[in-house]
Amino acid sequence: MDFFSSMRVSTSALNAHLVQLNSITSNLANTKTTRGAHSGPYLKKEVIFSAQVDRENFAEILENEFDEHVQGVQVIEIIENPKHLQKVYEPNHPDADSQGYITLPGINPVEEIANLITCQRSYEANVTALEASKSMYTKTLMVIG
């Protein structure tokens, strides 16, 4: 239980939110992509966060009863969600099927921008927390000097 553990926790959140930021920008860039990485259209990427107990090594499990309450965050999965796919009638499109429909990723840009703002605010909150840890640690060092 020290400041490094809170720093690790904040850093884990920064990493997780960067992954989320990447998936949001990727979704925004591909709102009209009919050919994704696999066969078929681009699929909307959704990031799943999960709370993880902060532990550096096995010995720490035995060390402190409060450690289990200090939890970082980790991206456990990036889901490519096909539920959003949308059929649009565009018979002249090269990817149109026999009925003249194309399949779009069905990404709602407004929703993505809203997620982007939330993600950015969370990132900033974690940077502030990290700076607080740093300042507290530095000031503690000053007691010696």
Partner 1 sequence: MFDFTIHALKTSLNLRTLKHNILCSNISNENTPGYQAKKVEFETQLRDALHLENRLPKFGTHTDHFIFTQLDAIHPNVYEDPYGNPSLNGNTVNRTAEMAELTENQLLYETSLELLKKKISLLKYAISEGERSH
Chain residues that interact with partner 1, rule: CB under 8 A: 1-3, 5-6, 9-10, 12-13, 16-17, 20, 48-51, 54, 66, 69-73, 118-119, 121-122, 125-126, 128-129, 132-133, 135-136, 139-140, 142-143
Nearest-CA neighbor of 124 among 135, 132, 114? Answer: 132
Tell me the closest approach of the beta carbon of residue 136 to partner 1, in angstroms.
6
Comparison of 12 and 34: residue with beta carbon closer to partner 1: 12
Comparison of 37 and 117: residue with beta carbon closer to partner 1: 117
Comparison of 93 and 121: residue with beta carbon closer to partner 1: 121
And the tokens for 50? Answer: 């999960």
Comparison of 38 and 69: residue with beta carbon closer to partner 1: 69
Tell me the closest approach of the beta carbon of residue 128 to partner 1, in angstroms.
7
DSSP-assigned letter for residue 92: T
Locus of tokens 């107990």:
53
- Asked if 95 and 34 touch (Cβ cutoff 8 Å), the reply is yes
Comparison of 21 and 88: residue with beta carbon closer to partner 1: 21
Nearest-CA neighbor of 3 among 123, 144, 132, 145? Answer: 132
Tell me the closest approach of the beta carbon of residue 113 to partner 1, in angstroms.
16
Tell me the closest approach of the beta carbon of residue 143 to partner 1, in angstroms.
6
Neighbours of 30 (CB within 10 A): 19
Tell me the closest approach of the beta carbon of residue 105 to partner 1, in angstroms.
22
Neighbours of 119 (CB within 10 A): 19
DSSP E strands, 2-116: 44-53, 71-81, 86-89, 101-104
3-state secondary structure of 16: helix
